[in-house]
């Protein structure tokens, strides 16, 4: 039997797909990431937007085209939100939600719909199968924020953390040049167990991998946190979730900070890590957003001088508070996304230019078109010439901005 595990959505989903693969392999079953011909397909779905749900349904048809006689097992957020949308689809035999989704490896022959109650603690024990270059280690699951636009807390449940010792054990055993600590909201790590992010970083001193963080909330950026990061091989890249640069919109979103709070966190980071990349997400066209409010957001993004901005037009999600509110028209959303997109490209180029003439450690990830591609600790994408191997960290002299990053050569 061959199993293909296909992932939609976030890095946490990707990690959990790796857990499913590891468990299948441990049972003597051949299993791989991605859609490729197989006897059984496990589709790890996403429901953060309506488009994500649509792509989750489309993945069933894509699997059937690869093998009309296959069995399809659905797990994850789209199944948690609405299992019935998959129940009548051909070849679908088992549907599981978010709770204990990795147990699908033990239930490969079962059929039916199993959307269980979401757990209050981390349940799974299996470490994820990792790639050669970068390991992802889940340290937390769930979310307590209940932003007015977001369906995730209803699908993933309340925040729950792994123990520091368990995380350290997995990071130590991953044997990759870089490890990314991920979760649904890692800012809440340890609040349910009496531990904390600084305690985790202190415990990671001396590990033989550079450490990168997933998305953080601005409120978690304290002097204690930043101090603890200086004692590990830390990648100075902070993805600080913003969503809007206007305080009135933030209040409607039920975000728990002001732009002044956010900017203070940015200043703290740059005091300790002057060359750090600060990246973010911004939603444009949220319910009631006026042209004036959008301009405040655009101006704030320029003030922060982000290294990159992920721009999303607001997508109403049934089941959230904001779903009942009046939406902004699609044309206005598209125009604002285009304006912010142009700013993103300009700021991204400025960030690349700031490294010209410097030498940076770059993790080589692949070779394509005669050039190697990889990332600095600051998550600057670098295209470079020279001899190396996948997964190696090499010294690269940055020469010039290039494509979506910079170009250089190995010293």
Instruction: List, for residues 317-335, the tens digit of each pLDDT value.
Output: 999 999 999 999 999 999 9
Residues 6+ apart with CB under 8 A from 383: 371, 372, 373, 402, 403, 405, 406, 407, 408
Q: What is the pLDDT of residues 75-106, one digit of tens each?
A: 999 999 999 999 999 999 999 999 989 999 98
Range 354-381 average pLDDT: 97
Range 211-227 average pLDDT: 97
Q: Do 2-114 and 359-410 come out as alike in CATH topology?
A: no
Per-residue pLDDT, 175: 84
d(CA 128, CA 365): 20
Q: What is the pLDDT of residues 142-186, one digit of tens each?
A: 999 999 999 999 999 999 999 999 999 999 998 899 999 999 999
Per-residue pLDDT, 316: 95
Q: In the chain, what are the domain boundaries?
A: 2-114, 359-410
Domain 359-410: give its CATH architecture: Beta Barrel (2.40)
Per-residue pLDDT, 122: 85
Which DSSP letter does residue 187 get? G
Per-residue pLDDT, 201: 98
pTM: predicted TM-score of the whole model, two decimal places: 0.94
d(CA 357, CA 244): 34
Range 246-258 average pLDDT: 98
Residue 146 φ/ψ region, left for φ over 0, alpha for ψ in the -120 to 50 degree band, beta for the rest = left
Q: What CATH number has the domain spanning 2-114? A: 3.40.50.12160
Range 201-206 average pLDDT: 96
H-helix or E-strand containing 73? Answer: strand 71-76
């Amino acid at each position: 039997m061959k199993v293909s595990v296909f992932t939609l959505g976030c890095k946490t989903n990707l990690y959990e797909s790796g857990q499913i693969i590891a468990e299948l392999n441990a049972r003597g079953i051949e299993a791989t990431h991605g859609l490729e011909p197989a006897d059984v397909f496990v589709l790890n779905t996403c429901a953060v937007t309506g488009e994500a749900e649509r792509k989750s349904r489309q993945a069933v048809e894509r699997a059937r085209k690869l093998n009309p006689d296959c069995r399809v097992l659905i797990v994850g957020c789209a199944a948690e939100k609405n299992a019935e949308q998959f129940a009548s689809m051909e070849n679908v035999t088992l549907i599981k939600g978010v709770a204990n989704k990795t147990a699908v490896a033990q239930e490969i022959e079962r059929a039916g719909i199993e959307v269980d109650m979401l757990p209050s603690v981390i349940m799974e024990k299996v470490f994820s199968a990792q790639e050669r270059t970068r390991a992802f280690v889940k340290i937390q699951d769930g979310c307590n924020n209940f932003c007015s636009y977001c369906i995730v807390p209803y699908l993933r449940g309340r925040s729950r953390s792994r123990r520091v010792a368990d995380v350290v054990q997995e990071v130590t055993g991953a044997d990759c040049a870089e490890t990314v600590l991920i979760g649904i909201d890692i800012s809440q790590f340890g609040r349910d167990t009496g531990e904390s992010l600084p305690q985790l970083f202190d415990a990671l001193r001396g590990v033989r991998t550079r450490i990168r963080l997933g998305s953080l909330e601005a409120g978690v950026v304290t002097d204690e946190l930043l101090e603890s990061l200086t004692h590990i091989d830390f990648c100075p890249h902070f993805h600080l979730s913003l969503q809007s640069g206007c305080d009135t919109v933030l209040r409607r979103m039920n975000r728990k900070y002001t732009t002044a709070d956010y900017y203070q966190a940015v200043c703290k980071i740059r005091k300790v890590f002057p060359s750090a990349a600060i990246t973010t997400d911004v939603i444009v066209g949220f319910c009631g957003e006026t042209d004036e409010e959008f301009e405040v957001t655009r101006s704030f993004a320029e003030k922060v001088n982000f290294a990159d901005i992920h721009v999303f037009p607001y997508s109403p999600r049934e089941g959230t508070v904001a779903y009942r509110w009046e939406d902004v028209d699609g044309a206005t959303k598209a125009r604002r996304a285009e304006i912010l997109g142009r700013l993103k490209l300009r700021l991204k180029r400025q960030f690349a230019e700031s490294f010209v003439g410097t030498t940076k450690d770059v993790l080589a990830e692949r070779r394509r078109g005669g050039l190697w591609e990889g990332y600095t600790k600051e998550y600057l994408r670098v295209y470079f010439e020279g001899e190396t191997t996948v997964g190696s960290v090499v010294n690269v002299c940055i020469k010039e901005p290039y494509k979506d990053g910079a170009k250089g050569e190995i010293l």
